[in-house]
Amino acid sequence: MLNRVRSAVAHLVSPGGAPHARPKSPELPAETTAPPAAVAEAPRSPSARTTSGSGAPAKTGETRASFSRPTFLQLSPGGLRRADDHAGRAVQSPPDTGRRLPWSTGYAEVINAGKSRHNEDQACCEVVYVEGRRSLAGVPKEPRRGQGLCFYYWGLFDGHAGGGAAEMASRLLHRHIREQLKDLVEILQDPSPPPLCLSSTPGTPASCDPAQLVAPQSCCSPQKEVTHESLVVGAIENAFQLMDEQMARERHGHQVEGGCCALVAVYLLGKVYVANAGDSRAIIVRNGEILPMSREFTPETERRRLQLLGFLKPELLGSEFTHLEFPRRVQPKELGQRMLYRDQNMTGWAYKKIELEDLRFPLVCGEGKKARVMATIGVTRGLGDHNLKVCSSTLPIKPFLSCFPVQVYDLTQYEHCPDDVLILGTDGLWDVTNDREVAATVDKVLSAYEPNDPSRYTALAQALVLGARGTPRDRGWRLPNNKLGSGDDISVFVIPLGGPGSYS
């Protein structure tokens, strides 16, 4: 995904973001997550382990300049070197002999063809236990075992301008989600509607006991119904935001270079939540039918949001950019002529007389994979990028990057068969294939395996990665139709919707 960022000049400046209404990040537990099994030192910038800066509660725990692959690949140092080989581009999956991924998940990845030094994709697949918070008012925790919740978690992180942000997110984002869910452990397990207000008086050890909550029916003013599902969506949304804020705080100490797209699936209490910030993609293939589970966020799909922001906050554009879009760059000799344009309100085009400020570079330009914000970045949502500046300028890009929506899929509403799967893939997959072709591969590969063969989902993930990578020929990596294969990092999760119990 490096070529999506033309410039990532990492000036060390303070973040320019506006204040957030979001609640403060609760302190993440001090214990570190299991360190990646295979970590190689990158030769460029070995840095000492650093402590968190002031106001930085979470411990990242690792040296950020190291290169690593997901723990679950169980790579030896030699295996890690092979995974890092741009020439061979061997497809990596968890070993058949080792512990399988949770939920019988299939996974495969391959490094890029040389566009960046290392594989800048990262992945995480975990079962996470959430202990309820005994108190909601800040008094010490007294965990009550056995009343917690478990969620399954899959994350794909596609880094750009360095692998640091993707690596950090792969280690920490699920812990932010766990923190956000802690307040909800009892509420989510209570079938009655969630309380709108929690009656925790500061200084008093209030309890999350439903009997002590202000129940909705006790309020006299009209009120909205809030579902359990929307609380989980809110928790994931806030976790993304807090992950991003942690990257902003710790970027000096930990060299969290660049940024990353994040595509996450969470299974909790019968439902799958898919959250996407960036241009990775999730689809469900169910009985041959395709259900999109994410939308891509690019300068083209988000043009009007970006233009509106530039229009409302012209200081973000400096004197270098215009929020208007033109079908091509305006030339000085065209001053006074009439050119097609569109603004933040328009989906169509109209002619306008070219004025001096129209000669500025457009905030959004280019088409397809070449579309860019401020001539710099090709995705408009993601984590990190706090240091990203416009090339040869001090203008920050970050204010234009945003968060993400969550889509929910209710697993209990449909009788799933073993061939129904949720596919998560980075853009390395989707750049050279489409939903329909992926669905055809799902059918072809899974039908070649017994329904209870646990290796079938890894085989499918490998087939998808191989199909997008192609084979080396005279002129680069080629697909069977002789078109160019993806030269990008490619990572794929295959999650069987029949659930983890059906397979052994």
Residues 326 to 345: which contact its own copies by CB under 8 A? 326-329, 334, 336-343, 345
What is the Cα 27 distance to its own chain's centre? 22
Which residues inside 296-315 make contact with its own copies, applying CB under 8 A?
309, 311-313
Selected binder of its own copies within 12, 14, 21, 356 (CB under 8 A) = 21
| Most distant CA pair in the chain, distance | 74
Report the side by side order of strands in the sheet with 106-110. Answer: 106-110, 490-496, 421-425, 281-286, 289-292
Contact criterion met (CB below 8 Å) for 9 and 36: no
Residue 370 phi, psi (nearest 5): -95, 0
DSSP three-state, residue 334: helix
In order, the DSSP letters of 68-105 are E--GGG---HHHHHHHT-TTT---B---TTSPPPGGG-
**4 Cβ contact list (under 8 Å, min separation 6):** 160, 279, 377, 378, 379
Residue 336 phi, psi (nearest 5): 90, -20
Q: Is 236 in the site for its own copies (CB under 8 A)?
A: yes
Contact criterion met (CB below 8 Å) for 359 and 335: yes
Of 179, 216, 185, the C-alpha closest to 199 is 216
**How far lies 313's CA from each of 164, 307, 346, 399, in Å?**
30, 10, 18, 10
Tokens linked to 54: 């002031």
Selected binder of its own copies within 16, 17, 23, 270 (CB under 8 A) = 23
Smallest gap from residue 358 Cβ to its own copies (A): 9
**234 or 253, CB closer to its own copies?**
234
Other CB atoms within 10 Å distance of the CB of residue 355: 11
Smallest gap from residue 372 Cβ to its own copies (A): 11
**23 or 88, CB closer to its own copies?**
23
C-alpha span between 504 and 490 (Å, rounded):
27
Which residues inside 206-235 make contact with its own copies, applying CB under 8 A?
214, 219, 221-226, 229-235
Contact criterion met (CB below 8 Å) for 454 and 104: yes
**240 or 503, CB closer to its own copies?**
240
**265 or 445, CB closer to its own copies?**
265
**379 or 429, CB closer to its own copies?**
379
C-alpha span between 69 and 290 (Å, rounded):
30
Smallest gap from residue 349 Cβ to its own copies (A): 5
**121 or 131, CB closer to its own copies?**
131
Which residues inside 151-180 make contact with its own copies, applying CB under 8 A?
180
Contact criterion met (CB below 8 Å) for 188 and 231: yes
Smallest gap from residue 153 Cβ to its own copies (A): 17
Binding mask 440-469 for its own copies (x = CB under 8 A): ------------------------------
C-alpha span between 127 and 72 (Å, rounded):
13
Stretch that binds its own copies, among 49-57, 255-263, 403-411, 444-452 (CB under 8 A): 403-411
Residue with tokens 């009120």: 223
Q: Is 47 in the site for its own copies (CB under 8 A)?
A: no
Smallest gap from residue 29 Cβ to its own copies (A): 20
**357 or 437, CB closer to its own copies?**
357
Helix (H) or strand (E) holding 109: strand 106-110
Smallest gap from residue 54 Cβ to its own copies (A): 22
Residue 399: half-sphere exposure toward Cβ, Cα within 13 Å: 22
Residue type, 193: P
Residue type, 210: P
Smallest gap from residue 286 Cβ to its own copies (A): 23
Smallest gap from residue 137 Cβ to its own copies (A): 9
Smallest gap from residue 342 Cβ to its own copies (A): 7
Which residues inside 110-139 make contact with its own copies, applying CB under 8 A?
136
Tokens linked to 254: 């930990």
**221 or 392, CB closer to its own copies?**
221
Stretch that binds its own copies, among 125-133, 148-156, 237-245, 443-451 (CB under 8 A): 237-245
Smallest gap from residue 460 Cβ to its own copies (A): 31
- Rg (C-alpha) for the chain, rounded Å, is 24
C-alpha span between 252 and 261 (Å, rounded):
20
Site size with its own copies, rule: CB under 8 A: 71
**252 or 304, CB closer to its own copies?**
304
Please state whether beta strands 121-130 and 106-110 pair in parallel, antiparallel, or not at all (unpaired). Answer: unpaired
Smallest gap from residue 195 Cβ to its own copies (A): 8
**111 or 184, CB closer to its own copies?**
184
Selected binder of its own copies within 66, 238, 376, 486 (CB under 8 A) = 238
Smallest gap from residue 420 Cβ to its own copies (A): 25
Residue 187 phi, psi (nearest 5): -65, -40
Binding mask 190-209 for its own copies (x = CB under 8 A): ----x-xxxxxxx-------
**355 or 437, CB closer to its own copies?**
355
Smallest gap from residue 261 Cβ to its own copies (A): 17
Of 154, 106, 124, the C-alpha closest to 459 is 106
Which residues inside 343-402 make contact with its own copies, applying CB under 8 A?
343, 345-354, 366-367, 370, 402
**96 or 209, CB closer to its own copies?**
209
Selected binder of its own copies within 68, 105, 241, 486 (CB under 8 A) = 241
